[in-house]
Chains A and B, each alone.
Chain A
Amino acid sequence: MSFKIKFLPDNKEVIVNKDTDLLTAALNAGVGIYNSCGGKGICGKCKVKIISGETDKCTLHLSEDEIKNNYVLACKTFCKTDAEVFVPEESRIGKADILIRGKKIFEPIDIKLAKSEKDITKSKDLGIAIDIGTTTLVVYLINPNYGILSAKAMYNPQIAFGEDVITRMIFAENKEGNEQLHNSVVNGINELIEECIKEINIPANNIKTVMVAANTTMTHTLFGINPSYIRKIPYIPKMDFLPLSDATKLGININDNAVVKAIPSVSAYVGGDIVSGVIACNINHTSKPTLFIDLGTNGEVVFGNNEFLVCCSTSAGPCFEGGGIKWGMRAQAGAIESFKFENDKISYKTIGNQKAIGICGAGIISVISELFLKRVIDKSGEFIIGSSKHIKTNENGNEFFITDKISMTSEDVKNVINSKGAVFSGCEVIIKKLGFEFSQIEQVKIAGGLGNALDIEKAIILGLLPDLPIERYEFVGNASITGAKECLMSEKELEEAKQVARMMTYIDLSTEHDFMNNYTASLFLPHTDLNLFPTVKNILEV
């Protein structure tokens, strides 16, 4: 028996049988519904509203209000008749506009102003640079002689199979799972390429090279290689340096003879995206000791200069990208990106000045650090009861309400403290292992999709970043795609990327006995050892 399900507001329809849950149905219909557990009924994020039709409603994680209003959890709800389903804004996987709006990152050449429009767009040797992040997918259409012609981004369609790399590795353990991962990422890439070529109005046939920068797991899935061994002892990827591959073989819809190149990985948890970031930030050319932090799910840290490079992966978790946080979301329109609190009065700013629908990474950092400074959160991350009228206590603990709906829970604060602790202690371990002091770091590059509003000072107050003068910091946004672009435009850069991947020393934090000690010490605001944060110490003492 089969039913017709219509998804609103996209107006997309799909025919399913009675054993298909609504999340899978949406996926088949091409409607993105946000979820972080891969449809296991754990995260409670795939809320949808039943407009019409009979279903066996699953109301796990939902509030009384939501149940009353016919909301259900998509991943555990099955249809009994034809149905109409509304996907509310907070459950929708939207287009990730903001991700390509990085500060210095996206500088498309103005085709109209260029000397000869024809030369630039009619070239028969165009290329595509791709950054495959665990969460996002970014594509640049490039004329190797000039620069970026078009840039497009979306969420990595693989999110439907789980939010983090581990869940996806498990999913890839059987052949079909691996194929599904491969197909979904390739479909996403094709979709973005399609949009690019439509915008510039060129034939796909003119695209002859693809340069991929991605973490090790993503690179595996793109090339159809089973990544599941990465998570098994001794954590060795099947490959780190990849030979050239055919676009046709991988299913990318461009010129039949196009080649696909990937920036090599360093280890299981430090991939080509990080090598690409090092190239983009020119760390391999500077004599200044440089710290590079990717505030993504894996939280990779690189330290070094033109003489040496050391890296580690801190497994920060998805919270700086909005994952694992009740009202967390990616940096896109409607996300709270900065927050102020004065005399129990709240003010905030959202991306695009739209109605607040959640909080992005930069906003999460802003909220917690502001509430800590204003003594609403204590050093252990607990809300101080009675410190603000916006704190409400319910059966799940304390919550601070930013709007009537959007809140920060004490669980969220704990998650963020765990993440920031992992990143900071990862930096501490590699810096100390090389006999350096924090003060010797001459520049810090922060990469990631947590939002351009990232306030470095607030991140230092939180104890996420080392207490260094603000001018040493630079937020570089998506450095991975920038590096991929450079490698596509210059064979020399690609050679350098290979050299960087070879020279980078990987430190496995799980076998560093200092790491655990440093980590517990950093699970405090800003840190158990306040002497590591002299400026924060001054602020707190005032």
Chain B
Amino acid sequence: MEHVIEKWPGNVYELTIGATKEDGGTRSRKVKAGGINTLPFLHFEGLTPNQPLIAMEVWDIEPSEWPENLKNEFNEVLNNAAQWAKKCEDLGADLICLRLLSADPDGKNASATEVARTVKDVLSATSIPLMILGCGNNEKDSSIIMDISQIAKGENCLIGMAVKENFKTFTAAAQAGGHSLIAETPLDINLEKQLNILISDMGFGSDRIVIHPSTGGVGYGFEYCYTIIERTRLASLSNDKMMSQPIITFVGQETWKIKECKADETEKPEWGSLKERGVLWEIATASGYLQAGSDILVMNHPKAVNEIKNHINKLMEK
């Protein structure tokens, strides 16, 4: 029987994160995301030059909302971002996702200088590439992003989140510091494309953007996110260059805040052991997003990270 193979005219941009000594940075290695010219893991149909990356989250404040069994994994380093990042490197993360939550005006309200110092410390303590996110408050993030970008200049980081309200400042900062940019939109392929167009209209390379289409955990809008990612990927394979960016999903963040990963056995005896439940939930969410087409997964629990790494290795076998 004839073997029918889909031939796509387009492919996803390949993005390099991190800079080694030769590139003017201090990282021991670089990582690459994207580059695929087929749907995920269809090795018979096209090329998957890079396997999906796993970033592990590091906060610059203690994550008080996290459930105990997740916190316990990082106990001794939770109040030190640099040590926490080092631990993630040792646990096998491809890159570090540093969240500067101390800058939140409703919390510690740390200054640009303070958070920039944290970035510096994390860069010194680790040798893998770095992703840096603000605190989520647009106004504050816009006021600190330039300092963050400058302190990490030359390291080719991935910075975020550029949203419709602040993309001008973020794009300028990423341009000035030579970093790539995460563009975040509320689950809509048109809004994704619009933000990418606006960012590239500022003279920023469309091959240096990563799309965050919004992430929902399994049971919390996952299916919707899945179809949006799939449609984005189909658009890139059809050669829409404003939709051809690698995709990032925040799996850990969406897993560990839901009641299924927080309610213990006394509250929900029928749900089984909480310790396993949370890890399983993160694994299930991550493997779902791998199939959707996510190129970078941001995760939390070391056990889940380990399982997903094995899973990716198996999926990459031809």
Contacts and interface: CB of A to CB of B under 8 A. Distances in A.
Interface in B175-200: 188-191, 193-194, 197-198
B198 A378 contact: yes
A520 B231 CA distance: 15
A332 B171 CA distance: 44
A528 interface: yes
B191 A520 contact: yes
A524 interface: yes
B106 interface: no
B201 interface: yes
B30 interface: no
Contacts of B201: 378-379
Most-contacted residue by chain B among A379, A521, A524, A528 (CB, 10 A): A528
B190 A520 contact: yes
A380 interface: yes
Contacts of B191: 520
A378 B197 CA distance: 10
Contacts of A379: 194, 197-198, 201
Interface string A519-537: 0110110001000000000
B164 interface: yes
Nearest to A522: B190
Nearest to A520: B190
Contact of B198 (A380, A520, A521, A523): A380
B194 A380 contact: yes
Nearest to A375: B201
A517 interface: yes
Contacts of B189: 517
A528 B198 contact: no
Interface residue SS majority, chain A: loop
Contacts of A524: 190, 194, 197
Contacts of A520: 188, 190-191
B190 A528 contact: yes
Interface string A338-357: 00000000000000000000
A521 B189 CA distance: 9
Interface in B195-229: 197-198, 201
A379 B191 CA distance: 12
A520 B195 CA distance: 13
A517 B191 CA distance: 10
Nearest to A524: B194
A111 B190 CA distance: 58
A114 B188 CA distance: 64
Nearest to B242: A528
Interface string A379-410: 11000000000000000000000000000000
Contacts of B197: 379, 524, 528
A379 B190 CA distance: 13
Most-contacted residue by chain A among B188, B190, B194, B198 (CB, 10 A): B190
Contacts of A378: 198, 201
Interface in A494-537: 517, 520-521, 523-524, 528
B234 to A, nearest CB: 14
A516 to B, nearest CB: 9
Contacts of B194: 379-380, 523-524, 528
B88 to A, nearest CB: 37
A414 to B, nearest CB: 12
A186 B194 CA distance: 49
B206 to A, nearest CB: 14
Interface in B13-38: none
Nearest to A530: B197
A518 to B, nearest CB: 9
7 contacts: A379-B197, A520-B190, A521-B190, A523-B190, A524-B197, A528-B194, A528-B197
Given A380-B194, A523-B190, 14 more contacts: A379-B194, A379-B197, A379-B198, A380-B164, A517-B189, A517-B190, A520-B188, A520-B191, A521-B190, A524-B194, A524-B197, A528-B190, A528-B193, A528-B197
